Amino acid sequence: MAYEIVVLTNMAIAVLFALSLNVITGFCGQVSLGHAAFLGIGAYTSAMLSKEGVPLIITFIPAMGMAALIGLIVGVASLRVRHDFLAITTMGVVFLFTGIVRKQEILGGEIGIAGIPAPDFGRVGLFATSLLCVLAYLLLTIWIRRSWTGFAFDSIAEDEDTARLLGINVPKFKLFAFVVGTAGAGLAGALYAHQVRFIGPDSFGFVESISVLAMVIVGGIGSIWGVILAAAFLSALPQFFQVIDDYKLLVYGLLLFGAMRFAPEGIDGLLKKIVRRRAVK
Angle formed by the axes of helices 206-219 and 224-240, nearest 10° = 130
Distance between CA atoms of residues 275 and 110, nearest Å? 50
Is there a contact between 24 and 30 (Cβ–Cβ < 8 Å)? yes
Task: Give how far Cα 237 sits from Cα of 76, 191, 232, 246, Å.
Answer: 37, 20, 9, 11
Task: Give how far Cα 62 sits from Cα of 57, 69, 118, 187, Å.
Answer: 10, 10, 18, 9
**Residue 83 binds other proteins, judged by CB under 8 A:** no
**Residue 154 binds other proteins, judged by CB under 8 A:** yes
**Residue 152 binds other proteins, judged by CB under 8 A:** yes
Provide the minimum distance between the beta carbon of 211 and other proteins in the complex, in angstroms, as a whole number: 27
**Residue 169 binds other proteins, judged by CB under 8 A:** yes
C-alpha closest to that of 220 among 29, 14, 34, 22: 22
**Residue 257 binds other proteins, judged by CB under 8 A:** no
Range in contact with other proteins (rule: CB under 8 A) among 75-83, 139-147, 246-254, 255-263: 139-147
**Residue 136 binds other proteins, judged by CB under 8 A:** no
**Residue 244 binds other proteins, judged by CB under 8 A:** no
**Residue 76 binds other proteins, judged by CB under 8 A:** no
C-alpha closest to that of 218 among 201, 199, 237: 237
**Residue 276 binds other proteins, judged by CB under 8 A:** no
**Residue 51 binds other proteins, judged by CB under 8 A:** no
Provide the minimum distance between the beta carbon of 148 and other proteins in the complex, in angstroms, as a whole number: 4
**Residue 82 binds other proteins, judged by CB under 8 A:** no
Residues contacting other proteins: total by CB under 8 A: 24
Q: Is 76 helix (H, G, I), strand (E, B) or coil?
A: helix
**Residue 64 binds other proteins, judged by CB under 8 A:** no
Provide the minimum distance between the beta carbon of 209 and other proteins in the complex, in angstroms, as a whole number: 25
Angle formed by the axes of helices 83-103 and 206-219, nearest 10° = 140
Q: Is 126 helix (H, G, I), strand (E, B) or coil?
A: helix
User: Residue numbers of the site for other proteins (CB under 8 A)?
Assistant: 143-144, 146-149, 151-152, 154-155, 158-159, 161-162, 164-170, 172-173, 176
